[in-house]
A and B are shown apart, each in its own frame.
Chain A
Amino acid sequence: MKTFGGPVLFLDRSDINTDEIIPAKYLNEVTKEALGPHLLEDLKLPGFEPKAPSLGNCRVVATRANFGCGSSREHAPWALEVNGITVVIAESFARIFRQNMFNCGMMAIELPADDINGLFSACDPASTMCDVDFHEETLIFSWGKGKSKSVRFALNPFDAALVEAGGWVEFADARY
C-alpha cells in the first residue's frame, strides 16, 4: 500500500482537465518519471505557480468539481505520483481519472460540496497538512497554530481493495 498524506495543494477551480494536469506534448514520454517536471504546467489559476519549489513538497491536492476531465491519459495520475502526490480530494471526478487513481493504488476521495467549501474557507492554503487515516476513513487537516478540522470520507469496497492491493494489476492478476 502507498503512503498517504502531507502538505496540501489547494486548486480552487472546477473542471481542471487532463491537459492542464499534464499537457499532451509530453505524452511521447515512455517513463513516468519524465513527466515529473511538467505537472500542472499549463494550469492558469490566480496565485498558482506551477514551477514553485513548494509544489514539490505537496502530497495531497484539494480541489473543486469534475477534476481530471478530458482525456483518458493515466499520465495525469502518474505526473501526480512521481511528484509524491497520492491523494486528490474533490467534490467530484471525471470517471476515467478517478478509476485511474485507484487503479494505481492511489486515492481520489470525493467529499460533499459543503465539506469542500468548508475546507477552502477555513484552511490556510500555505500551511495546511492533511493526515489520511485509511482504515478509519478520516482526513485530519491542520494549519496555522494548532487549528484543525477532521472530515470523514467513504470509499466503496472495490476502491478500498485496490488501494490495499496496490492497484488493479495486482488485484486482477491474483484473481483472474
Chain B
Amino acid sequence: MGKTITQKIFDTHVKDEPFPGTKVLSIDVVLCHEITTPIAIADLMARGKDRVFDASKIKAVIDHVTPPKDSKSATQAKMLRDWATRNNIVDFFDIGYNGVCHALFPEKGFIRPGYTVIMGDSHTCTHGAFGAFAAGVGTTDLEVGILKGVCAFRPPQTIRIDVAGKLAAGVFAKDVILEVIRTLTVNGATDRVIEFHGQVIDAMTMDERMTLCNMAVEAGATSGLCMPDAETVDYLWPFVCGQYKNDRAEALADFRKWHSDPDAVYDKRIAIDVTALEPVATVGYKPDQVKKLRELFDVRIDQVYIGSCTNGRLSDLRIAASIVKGTRLAKGVRGIVSPATPKIFEEAMLEGIIKTFMDAGYCVTNPTCGACLGMSNGVLAEGEVCASTTNRNFFGRMGKGGMVHLMSPASAAASGIAGKLADPREYL
C-alpha cells in the first residue's frame, strides 16, 4: 500500500508515540512572530527555561504590527527581539528587514520539501506549497517546539484535490482556492490535510501555490500540500545548488522522494475542472460564502487592500498594477498596497509598480500584516466595506463592524477603479 506525502513526512520524523494515534514529531523549522511568541517566551522565563532547542532551526520576525503602533506592540516586538538576541537566533528579522512571515520565510529559502514546520500562526499551511508538512499551532505547542523541537499530532487523513482544465484570463489561484473552500465548506477539511494535484497546479508558480495552500486552513485543514517539482527546485535553487553540486536533476530526484505514491490511500478525492471558473469573491463573514463577481451588483466599497501572506507577493502586485495602470481609484475609495517583504517592495519599485499604484491614488505601506487582521495600517470604520486580497472575512477582522470581501488582486484592483465590486475581466 502506498503512502501519502504526509505519511512519509510523519514516518521520517516520528520521535515518540506516547499513545496510539498520537505521534510526536521532530520539527525541522520553528517559525515565530511577535504576536503569539512573547507569551511563550514569558512562560519559559517564568519556568526558568529561557533556552531554545536549536537556534539554527528557529526563525523569527516582527511582522504583524510594524513599526509598532503603540507601547503594547512595541513591548511585544521588544520581547521577541531581546529573546532572539539572548538565544543567538541569527535568522531574526527586525524593522528594515521584516515582512509578512509566510512570504518572508519561503523567500529566504527556509522551507524545503519533506520538512516539518510549525508556527504560532494558522496560515503556516502556506509552506505546504513546498511539499512540507507545515501546521499552525497555538502558543503552548510553539513553546514546546522552541524548547524541545517536537510537536504532537494526530496523523491527519488526506483529501486529494485534482484540479484539471485551464484557467481563463482574469481567473487566478485565489479564485481556485475560494472555489475549493466553497466546495469543502469551512470545516470540510478539519483534522485533514489537502493535497493539490493536476495540470493546473503543475503549471502554477510557487507564488500561486502559496496562495492556494495559504487558505487551506479556511476549510479547516491542518496543511495544504503541493508535490515538489522542477518549479520548486527553481525557486529554491539559490539556496540548495551547493548541496546538490549544481546538478538540478539530482535536486529534482531528491525532492521527488516527497511525492505521494500513486496507490496512496485518501480519505476523499475531489476532482475540479476550472475551465469554466469565473472570478469570485466572498460575500459574508465566512470564507465559504463565495459568489461570482459578475453576479454582485452595486456592492459599493470604501477601501481596496492589496497585500498579506495570501496575495502580497510580486506576481500579485504585477497583476494588480497591470489593471491599475493609467487609471485612478474611484472617488471616495481608498487604496492600500502592502508589499509583503522588503525584497518584493524593492523589485516592485524597480519595475515601476509602486509608481503605478501611487499615480492611481494608492497609499503604499511598508511590509506588514497591517489591515489584514485589523491591528494597524488600514482598519475599517463601522459599516465600511473593503475589497481585499487577504484570507479572512470574519466579522470585525479588519475593524469592528467592517465587511471584507475576499478576492484576487486583479479583482480588488478592478473594484478600486469601479468603486464597487467588479469583475476584473472587464478591465484586462
Interface residues of A (CB under 8 A from B): 15, 17, 19-20, 23-25, 27-32, 42, 44, 65-66, 69-74, 77, 92-97, 99-100, 103-104, 156-158, 161, 167-169, 172-173, 175-176
| Shortest beta-carbon contacts, A-B, top 10 | A100-B138, A103-B140, A74-B138, A158-B22, A28-B72, A74-B139, A66-B187, A157-B19, A72-B122, A72-B136
27 cross-chain CB contacts under 8 A = A15-B286, A19-B395, A19-B396, A24-B375, A28-B35, A28-B72, A28-B73, A29-B72, A30-B76, A65-B187, A66-B220, A69-B187, A70-B122, A72-B120, A72-B121, A72-B138, A73-B138, A94-B220, A96-B122, A100-B139, A103-B141, A104-B140, A161-B18, A169-B144, A173-B49, A175-B16, A176-B24
Q: How far is the CA of A24 from the CA of B64 in the complex (A)?
A: 11
Check if B148 sits within 8 Å of A168, measured CB to CB. no
Check if A95 sits within 8 Å of B152, measured CB to CB. no
Check if A30 sits within 8 Å of B38, measured CB to CB. yes
Q: How far is the CA of A93 from the CA of B187 in the complex (A)?
A: 9
Interface string of B9-32 (1 = CB under 8 A from A): 000000110111110100000000
Check if B392 sits within 8 Å of A169, measured CB to CB. no
Check if B397 sits within 8 Å of A168, measured CB to CB. no
Chain A residues, CB < 8 A from B72: 28-30
B192 nearest CB neighbor, chain A only: A95
B309 within 8 A of A: no
Chain A residues, CB < 8 A from B64: 27
Chain A residues, CB < 8 A from B36: 72-74
User: How many residues of B are in contact with the other chain, CB < 8 A?
Assistant: 58
Chain B residues, CB < 8 A from A73: 35-36, 138
For A28, give its contact among B42, B76, B395 (CB under 8 Å). Answer: B76
Q: How far is the CA of A159 from the CA of B49 in the complex (A)?
A: 24
Check if B186 sits within 8 Å of A15, measured CB to CB. yes
Check if B136 sits within 8 Å of A96, measured CB to CB. yes
B75 nearest CB neighbor, chain A only: A30
From 127 to 185 in chain B, residues with beta carbon under 8 angstroms from any chain A beta carbon are 136-141, 143-144, 147-148, 150, 152, 154
Check if B140 sits within 8 Å of A169, measured CB to CB. yes
Q: A24-B397, A96-B137 are in contact. List 10 more A-B contacts (CB 8 A).
A: A23-B396, A42-B395, A69-B220, A95-B191, A103-B140, A156-B22, A158-B19, A172-B144, A172-B148, A176-B24
Check if A28 sits within 8 Å of B65, measured CB to CB. yes
Q: How far is the CA of A169 from the CA of B375 in the complex (A)?
A: 29
Knowing A156-B19, A158-B21, A175-B18 touch, does A99 contact B138 (C-beta < 8 A)? yes
Chain A residues, CB < 8 A from B298: none
Q: How far is the CA of A92 from the CA of B375 in the complex (A)?
A: 29
From 105 to 139 in chain B, residues with beta carbon under 8 angstroms from any chain A beta carbon are 119-122, 124, 136-139
Chain A residues, CB < 8 A from B190: 66, 92-95
B426 within 8 A of A: no
B358 within 8 A of A: no
B86 within 8 A of A: no
Q: How far is the CA of A173 from the CA of B144 in the complex (A)?
A: 8
Q: How far is the CA of A99 from the CA of B18 in the complex (A)?
A: 16
